[in-house]
Every structure is written in C-alpha cells, then in structure tokens.
Structure 1
C-alpha cells in the first residue's frame, strides 16, 4: 500500500478562465487532444518548447506540494514517448533544486526528443537505471511511462515495471494519466499504475470522469499550460461541449442573489409526490432536501396514513393526504390537487410500484417534472420513454445505473462511457438525464454534457438519493421564473447545482465523520454549511 499524502494546500481543480479566457473545465477525448496539440504545432509551437513549458509547470507543482525537506529522494520512471520526455525534463529541473533524483528508463527505443533529454540527464550525472529493482529507496515516485492516447495493453517487461511501481511505499504522481489507463473510458489496458496523485495536462481527459478510473487516479489536478482558445475552438466546435463541474461554474448557476422585494411564491412552489407506508422515510428525506434548497413553498402529497407524521417533521410544508391502496401506496392524487399551480413537481421516492396513477398524473401535467426512484421504475413499466418527448414542460430524470438499464436497455451496452450513454438517452427521450454514480453525468438533449466527478463513497447509503431528489426539485421550482432562458437550460442548471452541492456536502460530512458516519439525515445537515462556503 502506498502512503497517503494530502497536499498542504487545496488545489484548484479547473476553474473557468485562464490567461486566454478559455474554459479550463473542458473535457476532451484523446483524439480531440491530439487535434488541439496538432493545431499548436502547425501554428509554429516547437514540440521541445511545449515540453519545457509543461515540465516547468509540473515541477512547480511538485516543489510546492512535496518540498525537498520532506521528500528529498525522488525516483522518476520515464517511458519511450513524449510523456517520458516530460518526466525527464522534470528530473533535470528537480535536480537543480536540490532533490536527489534517479531515473528508471526501461524502454529500449525512445522517441528522438526523449532520447535527447535522457542523454542530457546522464550528462548531468543523474543516475539512470534500466530496471525498477536497481532503484534506490525513494520518498516520491513520478510515473512518466505513458500519457494520453495509449490504446494497446501493457504487457511483459513494462507490465513488470507497473507492478513494481504499485509496490512502492511512497506517494506516486502520474503525469497526465496513470500509465495503463484508456484516455476516454478509463479502462485498464492490461495493467495500470495506482497513483496517489495525477496531474492532467492542458485539458481534462475523459478518463477523469469515469467511475472505473477513480481507483487509479488518486487526487487529480489540472496543470494548465496556456492552450490558446482558438486551438480549442478549432477542434471542439463541431460537437456539444463536455464539461467538468467546478465551484466557479456551479456558483454562477445558483438562484442567488434574490430580489430584495421577493416573497415565497416568487421563489418557487414545489410539489413533492412521495412515500408509501413501507417507505415512509423516503418522503421525509426528500422533503428535507427540498427544505435545504431554499424553495419558497413546499407541498407534499403522501398517503393519508403518513400525513400527520410528515407534518410533525415538516411544519412549514403543506401536507396533502392522498387516498391509498391496501398496501399503503398512493392510489391516486386527490382531484382537488391542481397540478398547474406548481412551479415544479418531484415524484418518486418511496412511492412503491402500486402508485402508477399518481405517476401518470404528473406525466400528464404541464409543470416541470423530476422523476426518480419508483417514478422511474413505473415509467419503465409503461414500456417507453417516448412519453417524455411529448411533454411540453422540461423533464429531469435521475436514475442510478440499475434504473437507467431498465429505461434505456441498449445505451450502456453500446458505450463504455456513462456520459455518452446519458447523452444518447437524453437525445432519445428529450429529457434531461442525470445518471448517478461516483462520477455523475448530467446530459442535456440538445446541448452540453456535464460531469460531476467530486463525490465520496459516503453517499453509498440508503436515502441519499431521496435527499438529492428534493434538493434538485426545490432548485427546479426556483429557476422556472426566468423567461429569458430556455426551460431545459434552467432544468440543467438545477440538476447540475444539485448534484454538485449534494456531493460536496457528502465530502464535507465524510471529512468530519468518516465515510462510515454519513447517513441521509447527517447529509441534509451539511447542505446549508456547504452552501454558505460556496457563496462566501
């Protein structure tokens, strides 16, 4: 096991901006990154100059996060390509700053520029060995075997190098990607380095947004090297943008500040249709999420047998008791419940499979709608997601992988990328699709795909999804009053803010209480402190 190391200062993970006004939250494929670099080289940027610049930025990060006093001995594993060249320049620069540097160069054939840098490293007297076994003990290891674009499995002697890296008992920093990961899918190509830190170069690669890659990436940081915005635009203009959610982007989408003269009905009225006798807690957890969203008014439609219990816990809400089945599910929504009066409806947590009439009623409504949990299961029983395409108001669906497979059985099978599957599902259904996972994907049917990769295993608890439903539902109700924007764009804002906010609250709770100590109630209690931190 590698030693855990957390940098002394929190990194900036891809905020909007940069010296040339480009979006540093952009996510690219290997093919797109090759195209962007090609534009730079065609425009006259020498490969050697770019390598020096990138390596200088990497070195500055390493010196700040791993000072020489604490990590004097550094081993660098350099591969045959330009990722290895970056690593060799880093080796040279660290040696000039007083570190004891040694290099392992296991490949027999190197690219010419990389071979030149290796020769200069040897000229400087930095020890160079061919095998990991010949390395002296180190305090930090830099993985520069392979960067983005690897497509063939790592085998034989190089696989042995990766295995040896994974046995090292010190922090491991990978340059661009942990060697052995597929750039787009995050899949392991034979074997892969398990890094404690990964420095993604230039723009975020798609692998950083894939659940399967998280075990290998460790803590991820973006190393910006000033790619001109026109080079990015030239390569990415053809397709919908793919972005990684950050504090800067999410903060801009919050329904804040409010107008000084506002009142409760101007800041959203949410109808939450939830709960059944066997799953009473789901309605309450969703309501607590809605409360934290700041929605002006909340109405809960629950089975009549739950009404007094919910009212006792949510005294500020309007609680409507619904006729119920013998099993305690909502039999149907009361006729006097006018669905047209609500700014948004959230439906699904704890409904059970006996609540089909209630789900059909909200599907037929003209209000913006969020469907989750049994709302999605009952939608799947209807046999087609085409019913969502016929709705005049925007629809948000928030499935986990099991629910997604029931709704869109062909999409995940057709793609190794959850984001690509979510985007295809959004285009098929004309709904906004939030596919939950360790890296949540939020897909707009006619626009961008967003990833929310900052999560925590602490969310692997029953009820955390119910909290998310209420939180996004409350945000959805608050964002429908701005007629200047397309309703689906506003729904995207609500889903993106809710997913990021929910994940950050869980991370903060896990930091205080450990990953084992964050139940759904505890999660709701961290939502408002995290919001205050977001807007500070």
Structure 2
C-alpha cells in the first residue's frame, strides 16, 4: 500500500530538494508561497477568531515570505495586523522579497514587538531549516511571548527547533499549532520539538506527489502501513508451536516479577507457547503466579544447552529483572544463532565490551533486537550518545548498523532502526506509559511477534505501536499489570 502524503516525513534537506525539483518542473515557486501563506492566514482566523491583533513575526528567508503573504491575507479579511521583521527589508531575496513588496503596511524591527493582551503571534521567522542558535534579539522576544502567555501559530515548525532533530537551538517558541506544507519534518515527531509544535496541520500547497515520492525519506512515522502486511492470520491447521514458542529468562528469587510480565505480555500478544526459564531459587516464586506459562529449570549454561536442543524454540527474551550480568552475557552469546530480544540487564551486561555482542550476531539475517533507554544506549554506544550533531534517528541508525541489530531506542519519541537503513518514529504512545515494568511488557511483545514469524524490524515496530495502543486503552492510571490486559489484536492490511 502506498503511504499517504500526509504520513510522509521529509527532513529539511529533503524538502529543499523537493522545492528545487518543483521549480525545475515549471511550478511557480511564488505561487506555492502564496498558497502556503494563505493557508496560515486561514488557520489563524479559524482557530483564533477572537484575536484583537495578529502580530506577524517574519524572518529573512522564505519562511518570512510565507509570513508576509499571511499578513496580506489577514488584512484583507479585516483583521488587525502588525508585521515585525528580523533583519532588513533590503536583505530579502527572491520570493521572500516579492512577498514583502505585496505588504503595503508598516514593517517594524522584530525587537519592537511587545506582547499585548488579545495578541496572536504568527511565527514566520525561521521554520524547520534553522541549524544555528537563534539570535539574542529573537530569544528575548520568545521569552516575552512565553511570559505573556500569548498564543503562537508557527509556520512549518516553531522557530528555534531543528527540523532534522527536534532539538532546541538556544531558545524556541512554544506553539499551540504549527502549519506545515506537504509533509511533516522529523522535528515534528522527535522531542522536544514535538512538545513545542502543538497541533500540527499538514497543508497541500500543490506540489505533485510524484516529486515528493522521488526524494528518499530518511524516516517514517510508525504505524500499520509499516508492518501490517506481516501480521499473521491463523488458519485451520494452526497449533501452538506454529504460533511460536518464546522463552523468557527469569531473575533470582527476589527478581521474578519483570520476567513474568514479559512472559504474560508475550502470551497476550499471540505467542502460541511461552516458557519461563528460571534458576532453582526462583522456581517456587514463579510457580505461585503462573498457570498458562510453563516453567523450565535453567541454572547454568549447560542446562541452557539442553533447552536449545529443542529446535522448535527459536526466540528468547533476556534481561528484564535478570540481575546476574555475567550469566546474562554468557546466555546471550549462547543464543547467537537464535532470535533474541535483549533488554535491561541483558544490555548492561555488555557495557565493558559491546563488540563481543555485536560480533556474535554479525552474520546472517538480523535476529537481535536491542531495546535501550537513553542510559542503556550510552552503555553500548557511548560515542553516538555523546554526539550532539546527530539526531535520535541518526544515532539509532548508526547503532543498528554497528550492532547488526534492530535498535528500539526508547523514550517519548521511540525510534526503531534497522541495519538496512530503515527507521520509524513511534508517536503512538501516551505519556503515562512511563511507569515501572512498561518496558518489560514491550520486550515480551516484541518476542511474541518474532516467535510468530515477523521479521525483526517489523516485530519491534509493531510492538511499539501496539504497546502504545494498549497504553491509550488502559488510561492514565495504568500499571504494567493492567497494561497487559489491554493488549489488542494487531490491525492487518
């Protein structure tokens, strides 16, 4: 199925390539600017009908040109409009200069803007293409607008937010709404950009789909279009082993809860059979709480090898509440020819020598899924974690290639990346998933998808989306235990 244009995500660099291709094809670039600016004006009138004044803050580039067009359209509609410019009129070029020429009112320096009661700010200063810290005079205006709690409608993306990474470049507007054109940018989905952009409207200004689709996208938004074709349908011949056998490793006697939640989540996510592999000290504690999940006594590497003699068992989850880092390292290496979801303590076990893990899974198809949060990511990939020049997508992709693994880089803006260069941002998740045990549930869900035959990238992406859907269904008071009860079937294409 073809991804709808509204679901595409293009970086500022890719969007610039689209603009160039549109101009080279004969499309009037100023006509595109007019449609963009008029869409901004329409949104301002629709969402702020009671505004006493629209303060249009324009920048020195095409984003500012959109602002001048919006100012003209608002004035024609009878609104009170004041325009403020960062820079000098004579420095404007191309379409931005044409748009400025169309505004017959006064243009004042940006520093002259003082928020008033009843104002709505149209932020048309920089948009998504900014790559440097905002000037101090703009930062001062941003601070004044924030203190005055004046609503902000941003053109493309709040000025001060990097459209590629979502990072704040010194200071940024906090918009109630952003109007972007043709596609969203990564900064609309990556934090903190997502929290600053407000409601995002994608407006079609007339660039043909063929031009948009000709430019490679670095990332997509996670959703059923990414993995829905891989969702498994049961047939009359299905049995529990055909639906997949997953093994989850338990920690010691006082550390059994995390693994049980992973195992229960896997069972609720469709695995045909789930076993909990536990040391002797943890068998009784686990047996008290489990019914449909089988218990296997695995004390050491030798007993693990006995378990691996059963060729039907191909998928494992290791790490939640495991505790013993030395044993976790040994177990993970023993599983290098199987599918493995490595989480929590399983990741930390390789902090001293990540290449030991990466080399073990380097050959063949991708069968390792890593699920680090920010701290765990830094343990395996310290150089990537410290590189402020990389976006979260860049970091996840570099990590996936290095580890020959699917990397699910957790957070409010979870990124899932594959060694082959595919990456998605998962925005389908409520903030109340930030609770103890939520990650253990996610690990079990990924394991269930792998056990059922989904490829590693699709298994992880589908689990992240499904995990978010369960969070929405469970509501603000969810716990990891109640989250499991709200796991719904995967949608299929």
TM-score (norm 2): 0.87
Quote the residue 1:4 is aligned against: none
Structure-2 separation of matches of 1:118 and 1:409: 48
What does residue 410 of structure 1 align with?
383
The answer to whether the Cα contact below 8 Å between 2:167 and 2:191 also exists between their aligned partners in 1 is: no
Q: Distance in 1 between matches of 2:492 and 2:120?
A: 37
The equivalent of 2:265 in structure 1 is: 289
- Asked if the contact 1:331/1:358 (under 8 Å) is kept, the reply is no
- 1:380 is paired with a residue of what secondary structure? coil
- In the TM superposition, residue 493 of structure 1 has moved relative to its aligned partner by 0.6
Please list the CA deviations of residues 279-333 of structure 1 after superposition, one character each: whole Å capped at 9, or x if unmatched. Answer: 2110121123212312221111123343344344342122213337xxxxx9953
Give the unaligned 5+ runs of structure 2.
Answer: none
Listed one character per residue, the Cα deviations across residues 241-293 of structure 1 (whole Å, up to 9, x for unaligned) are 42232444256246144335433322222111233223211012112321231
Are the aligned partners of 2:222 and 2:425 in contact in 1 as well (CA < 8 Å)?
A: no
- Write out aligned runs for 1:442-457 (5 A): 442-457=416-431
* Alpha-carbon spacing, 1:336–1:518, altered in 2? closer, same or farther (3 Å): closer
Could you tell me whether the CA contact under 8 Å between 1:144 and 1:174 is conserved in 2? yes
What SS class does the counterpart of residue 260 from structure 2 fall into?
A: helix
Q: Please give the alpha-carbon distance, in whole angstroms, between the structure 2 residues aligned to 1:265 and 1:161.
A: 63
Alpha-carbon RMSD across the aligned residues, in angstroms, is 3.1
CA pair 253-139 structure 1, distance change in 2 beyond 3 A:
farther
Alpha-carbon contact 2:341-2:368 (below 8 Å) kept: yes
SS of the aligned residue for 1:77 comes to strand
SS at match of 1:203: coil
Where 1:195 maps in the other structure, the secondary structure is coil
2:470 is the alignment partner of 1:496:
no
- Asked whether the equivalents of residues 306 and 321 of structure 1 are also in contact (C-alpha less than 8 Å), the reply is no
Q: Give the total of aligned pairs.
A: 486
Measured at CA, do residues 319 and 77 of structure 1 come closer, stay the same or move farther in structure 2, by a change above 3 Å? same
* Partner Cα distance (2:202, 2:2) in 1: 12
Question: Following the alignment from structure 1 to structure 2, what is the Cα–Cα distance between the partners of residues 260 and 345?
Answer: 27
Deviates more, 1:41-50 or 1:402-411: 402-411
Match of 1:107 in 2: 86
Alignment partner, residue 35 of structure 1: 17
Q: Which runs of 5+ in 1 are unaligned?
A: 1-14, 325-329, 481-489
Task: Give the alignment of 1:60-71 within 5 angstroms.
Answer: 60-62=42-44, 66=47, 68=49
Q: CA deviation at 1:202?
A: 2.4
User: Contact 2:262 / 2:445 at 8 angstroms: preserved in 1?
Assistant: yes
Contact 1:332 1:358 in 2 (8 A): no
Which residues of 2 match residues 54-453 of structure 1 at below 5 A? 54-62=36-44, 66=47, 68=49, 74-97=54-77, 100-110=79-89, 111-112=92-93, 113-122=95-104, 130=109, 133=113, 136-138=116-118, 140-236=120-216, 241-250=217-226, 252-253=228-229, 255-323=231-299, 333=304, 335-336=306-307, 338=309, 340-354=311-325, 356=327, 359-360=330-331, 363-364=334-335, 366-381=337-352, 383-384=354-355, 385-390=358-363, 394-414=367-387, 415-453=389-427
Cα separation, partners in 2 of 1:103 and 1:522, compared to 1, 3 Å:
farther
TM-score normalised over the length of structure 1: 0.81
Give the Cα–Cα distance (whole angstroms) in 2 for the partners of residues 168 and 48 of structure 1. Answer: 34
- Structure 2 CA distance for aligned equivalents of residues 471 and 349 of structure 1: 13
Q: Is the 8 A contact 2:441 2:480 kept in 1?
A: yes
Change (3 A) 1:75 1:133: closer
Aligned 8 A contact 2:54 2:81 in 1: yes
Alpha carbons of structure 1 residues 358 and 108: separation in structure 2 relative to 1, 3 Å: closer
